[in-house]
A = this chain, B = another copy of it.
Amino acid sequence: MAVRVAINGYGTIGKRVADAVAGQPDMKIVGVTKNRPSFEARRAVELKMPLYGATDKGVDALKKAGFSVAGGLKDLLKESDIVVDCTPEDLGAENLRTYRDHKVKAIFQGGEEHDAIGWSFNANANFRDTLGKDYVRVVSCNTTGLIRTLYPFHAAGAAEDIYAVMIRRATDPNDSKKGPVNAIEPALNLPSHHGPDVASVVHALPIHTMAVKVPTTLMHLHAVVVRLKRAMSDQEVADLWSRQPRVMFVKGAEGFVSTAQIIEWARDQRRPRGDLWETAIWGDGFKVEGKTLYYYQAIHQESDVVPENVDCIRAMLRVTDEGAKSIEVTDKAMGILRPGARVEVPARAP
């Protein structure tokens, strides 16, 4: 029987999680909430997703605009096994009380503090430890991206120290209010929160992070240096990544000279919304010099956490006890590239 999933907050993340959940063989969407009669609310209706108001005011606003509204958040919770909270940053902790009152499990997004939720999740890193939990945070897009490519070094006991600078997109592509238009803004509170965020999932990873905001909307880009405990070859590193789920390779030599071409590739693939759920590593943009590994990776801020949310549902409801199994089901349903898939020209014919 399909797990009943509610989405609280049908926005940038919420609508993507809703689509991904709806496409899983073992899950269904029982409703989504919205507070304003926007084109996104209308899209939910087109997709036959039952529409609820996130607040009483929202119910009224939607009704006034002619929407057929199934009820408020509390009504929705009664129909749900689990709710994925995709409300704006910092509302989550307050919402948690509501979910607890209604005895519904809840997933929160990376905008919330770890301490406010109590547990943080990444499918590859701590699925098993998340089994049966009631309240879990899926870490942010940047943190998810870092864990995906750093976890194997951690698992192999290969990382002495990690230095990562996050060059963050200014705002999502669907926003036209926020800047900067022509400036670079550093995150002055040092080190940036990304290091502790990674550590909330992969404890004791020796990572040091800084972050800046730049005028682009497409993707984040990470510049990472790993001091290895022992010298490795480029091939060893590539092999390590090739076994990781949700990691893909792109090459500058094939036209991927910036984040622009990565998104173009995703559009060409007919990915919904041009999303890139995988973390993209430049196959010709990483290098080991002795014990120092340098690499760049690009992170699609709108979508890389979506499959993680799906897996998190399975862990919390114990749909399966195996992370690898969940990842396989999720990835197949969504069309995520298999581990190690390379974006490259076809092999030369023999």
- Which chain A residues have a beta carbon within 8 Å of chain B's beta carbons? 15, 36-43, 45, 65-68, 161, 163, 165, 167, 169-171, 173-186, 188, 190-191, 208, 210-219, 221, 223, 225, 227, 250, 252, 254-261, 263-265, 267-270, 272-274, 282, 284-287, 289, 292, 294-296, 298, 343-349
Nearest Cβ distance between residue A273 and chain B, in whole angstroms?
Answer: 4
Q: What separation, in Å, do the CA atoms of A45 and B343 have in the docked complex?
A: 13
Q: What separation, in Å, do the CA atoms of A211 and B188 have in the docked complex?
A: 20
CB-CB under 8 A from A274, the residues of chain B are 267, 273-274
CB-CB under 8 A from A212, the residues of chain B are 167, 221, 223, 296
Q: Is the CB of B176 within 8 A of A257?
A: yes
Nearest Cβ distance between residue A297 and chain B, in whole angstroms?
Answer: 9
CB-CB under 8 A from A259, the residues of chain B are 176, 183-185
Pairs across A and B, CB under 8 Å, 20 listed: A39-B256, A163-B225, A173-B264, A174-B263, A177-B180, A179-B180, A181-B182, A183-B216, A183-B259, A184-B218, A184-B258, A185-B257, A188-B257, A188-B282, A190-B294, A190-B295, A191-B294, A212-B221, A215-B216, A267-B272
Q: Is the CB of A176 within 8 A of B261?
A: yes
Nearest Cβ distance between residue A184 and chain B, in whole angstroms?
Answer: 4
Contact of A208 among B292, B347, B349 (CB under 8 A): B292
Q: What separation, in Å, do the CA atoms of A205 and B200 have in the docked complex?
A: 34
CB-CB under 8 A from A269, the residues of chain B are 43
Q: Is the CB of B268 within 8 A of A39?
A: yes
When A and B form their complex, which 4 residue pairs have the shortest distance between CB atoms, in order from nearest?
A174-B264, A66-B348, A183-B260, A176-B180
Contact of A182 among B41, B66, B260, B296 (CB under 8 A): B260
CB-CB under 8 A from A343, the residues of chain B are 39, 42
Q: Is the CB of A219 within 8 A of B42?
A: no
Q: What separation, in Å, do the CA atoms of A268 and B176 have in the docked complex?
A: 17
CB closest residue in chain B, given A43: B268
Q: What separation, in Å, do the CA atoms of A169 and B110 have in the docked complex?
A: 29
Q: What separation, in Å, do the CA atoms of A254 and B42 have in the docked complex?
A: 10
Q: Is the CB of B68 within 8 A of A254?
A: no
Q: Is the CB of A252 within 8 A of B188?
A: yes
Extra 8 A-B pairs, beta carbons < 8 Å, given A15-B268, A181-B215:
A65-B348, A66-B346, A170-B181, A173-B260, A174-B263, A179-B181, A210-B296, A267-B272
Q: What separation, in Å, do the CA atoms of A177 and B15 have in the docked complex?
A: 26
Nearest Cβ distance between residue A261 and chain B, in whole angstroms?
Answer: 6
CB-CB under 8 A from A268, the residues of chain B are 15, 39-40, 43, 273
